[in-house]
Structure 1
Amino acid sequence: MTEPERPVVLILGAGGVGLSLAGALAGVARVAVACRPRHAAAVRRDGLVMEGVWGERTVREIACVAGPGEAPPAPDLVIVTAKGFDTRAVCEEYADVLRGRTVASLQNGIGNEEVIADYAGTVIGGTVTTNFSVVGDGHVRVKSQSSPMVFGLWSGPDADALPRLVDLIRSAGILVEASTDIRSAKWSKSLLNLSVNPICALLSIPVGKAADPRLQRVIREIVSETFAVMDAEGVGTRWPSAEAYLDHLFAVQVPDFATAYPSMYYDIQAGRRTEIDLLNGYIADLGERRGIPTPYNRCIADLVRFREIDERK
């Protein structure tokens, strides 16, 4: 009996998340990943080196592509892991590949799925609470996974796309769940990123330091503004109020990630653009449209933008 044909997966955005996911899925799918030249050269020469909770191994069954001309013409699934500020540009570049396909977003921030929907057939939103890092060229480490990946159908006609994706991710040994309300899940994940990450990035401190009472006051205002905007947008989460989320943040999430530095910290240190416009900047813009004051979110977003420019000089 012949084995069933493995699905073809194209991953767009080969940072820590994209490369780690490519390595994990290579055992259950035919994987192509859009890589920076330095990662592509290392993977082609030595394979992708993986460390951490997703396994210790070298993966050679990955195709690195430099552009849409090298990509599989009709992938069964496309997963976008690029930084949120690059979503539109990536979709434009790979527009011919994405047209009519199932595309999943596994990105930080809010608003990526709306962009992808302009190009794809069926869109699946996703969240991941996992500590990824790039150790070197073609070398990644998955330090921890504190909760399962979550995927949910965002838009499009293919209702079976979600269970197929979840089954594929699970078959690779990754914790994953399906959500019936992915919008709520995306906002729930973004609460941690917008409440703690910018402060840790600005002050060059690990997440655990956010429990300092002087910082807690600022974080409480950021979260209160965000819940006011969420209420106006009709978005709910499993936390019924800002206070309920703040209790969870300081009792569970901050201790869980106490020694970790957020990715925004590394972006600023490396002089890279951050995703602040899809986090606090997004909240501030929505608040302005809704007539809701968001001075703390606006201030944090402006400070991070200043650091971005300052570090790139």
Structure 2
Amino acid sequence: MRVLVFGGGAVGLGLASCLAEAGVAPDIVTRQAGVEALETEGLKRMGILGKSVYRNVRAGASPEVFQENGPYDYVLVCTKSSATAQAGEELSQVPGLIGPGTSVVLCQNGWGNRERFAAFVDASKVYNARVITGFARPFSNTSHITVHVAPISMGHLDRPLNGELDPLADALTRGGLSCSASDDVGRDIWAKMLFNGSLNSLGAIFGVPYGKLSEHPEGLRLVRSVVDEIFAVMEAAGYRTWWDTPEDYFKVLTGELIPTAAHHVSSTLQDLKAGKKTEIDALTGEVVRLGELHGVSVPVNRTVLDIIGFLEKDCA
């Protein structure tokens, strides 16, 4: 099985480590510093799955490096959602990487990534993954896996699967992170939108891990307000998730999900501390955009979006 991981950040290195653990030697497109570290020290993994070092990986600073290795069976796009269109353009410009049997899986936060990527790559080849796993990258060749809240879910938003993602899901599962192919990935992604939308930005604004948001009534009220607005937008846009009401989801969020990930620091906060652009546009930004499109008022999400936008500029 040939797999190209496009993006050597926290998520890309984490998924690549699972493939390497399962005996699948991934090719990784990452920045030059990461290339050098991976080549000299290997891919390192730490955290809940223990410490390991993998030498069965190849790294390059651009997809052109791997042109002769294509076509790939799978291409995992692990960039920030803000770089989705750029990823699609770069991959589409290298002949032979994506062939007739290639499945491109977007392993990103947010909603709307598929549309941006499909401007450059045939939409029938583009799949989405829902990943609720805590990843950090303390060094350019190291993945720190802090929490695995739920199995990774992968599927196509427009049609049922025909077994094409099963080998990839099996490899990731054997590598340490449970994963399954699903015909309901859209529901899973909206569940992730609820999770990220209600915790990532608020945790970043207050500078706290997820668990702190549930320790005070003010935090719980803010989380609940965000959840209510996301639910209203989701339903107005014709999408569905696994809970019928915001009340049902809020019980699961506060009773099960937050306790599981209580110590996790959101990627949004990590990005702000590093002076990087966050994924707010694909998360809260999509909620605001869909709210405007469907006539749903989302004042709390709009305020959160503005605050994170301000902090992005102030931290840059």
Q: TM-score range by the shorter chain?
A: over 0.9
| Distance change >3 Å, CA 245–CA 18, structure 1 → 2 | same
Distance 1:53 1:306 in 2: 34
CA distance in 2, matches of 1:220, 1:47: 43
Higher alpha-carbon deviation: 53-62 or 182-191 = 53-62
- Residues 246-288 of structure 1, C-alpha deviation per residue, up to 9 Å, x if partnerless? 1111111121121221111111111111011011111011110
Asked whether the equivalents of residues 72 and 99 of structure 2 are also in contact (C-alpha less than 8 Å), the reply is no
1:53 partnered with 2:48: yes
Q: Secondary structure at 1:196's aligned position in 2?
A: helix
Report the CA distance shift for 1:125/1:152 in structure 2 as closer, same or farther (over 3 A). Answer: same
**Corresponding residue for residue 206 of structure 2:** 203
Opposite residue 276 of structure 2, the aligned amino acid is R
Q: Which of 19, 24, 31 is 2:13 aligned to?
A: 19
Deviation at 1:179, TM superposition (A): 1.8
Alignment counterpart, residue 276 of structure 2, candidates 266, 272, 284: 272
Question: Residue 197 of structure 2 aligns with which residue?
Answer: 194
**Which residue pairs with 1:306 in the alignment?**
310
Which amino acid in 2 is paired with 1:197? N
CA contact (8 A) 1:80 1:105 kept: yes
Over residues 132-158 of structure 1, what are the superposed CA-to-partner deviations in whole Å (9 max), with x where a residue is unaligned? Answer: 111213122212212211112234797
**In the alignment, which of 91, 94, 99 is matched to residue 91 of structure 2?**
94
Q: CA deviation at 1:175?
A: 0.8
Is 2:57 the partner of 1:65? no
TM-score (norm 1): 0.92
1:237 to 241, 257, 265: 241
Query: What secondary structure does 2:46 align onto?
Result: strand
Structure 1: state its 5+ residue gaps: 1-6
The one-letter code of the counterpart of 2:264 is A
Q: 1:122 to 1:157 in 2, by over 3 A?
A: farther
Distance 1:139 1:111 in 2: 29
Q: Which moved more, 1:276-285 or 1:219-228?
A: 219-228
Alignment partner, residue 296 of structure 1: 300
State whether structure 2 residue 149 is matched by structure 1 residue 154.
no
CA deviation profile, 1:4-63 (whole Å, cap 9, x unmatched):
xxx110011111110121122124323101111111111101111111233421111111
Distance 1:46 1:217 in 2: 46
Provide the residue aligned with 1:76 in structure 2: 73
Q: Work out which of the residue numbers 163, 167, 186 in structure 2 matches 1:164.
A: 167
Checking the alignment, whether the CA contact within 8 Å between 1:223 and 1:242 is kept in structure 2 is yes
- Asked if the contact 2:17–2:175 (Cα under 8 Å) also holds between the matched residues in 1, the reply is no
Q: 2:126 aligns with which of 97, 119, 123?
A: 123
Instruction: Name the structure 2 match of 1:107.
Output: 108
The CA deviation at 1:187 is 0.5
8 A contact 2:14–2:45 mirrored in 1: yes
Aligned residue pair count: 306
Q: Contact conserved, 1:124 with 1:155, CA < 8 A, in 2?
A: no
TM-score after normalising by structure 2: 0.92
Q: What root-mean-square deviation, in Å, do the aligned CA atoms of Structure 1 and Structure 2 show?
A: 1.7
**Residue in 2 aligned with 1:4?**
none
- Post-superposition Cα deviations, 1:192-241, rounded to whole Å, max 9, x if no partner, equal 10011101101111111111211222222211111111111111111111
Change (3 A) 1:102 1:266: same
* Structure of higher RCO (CA pairs closer than 8 Å, 6+ residues apart): 2
- Whole-Å separation in 2 of the counterparts to 1:105 and 1:302: 27
| Rounded Cα–Cα distance in structure 1 between residues aligned with 2:143 and 2:174 | 21
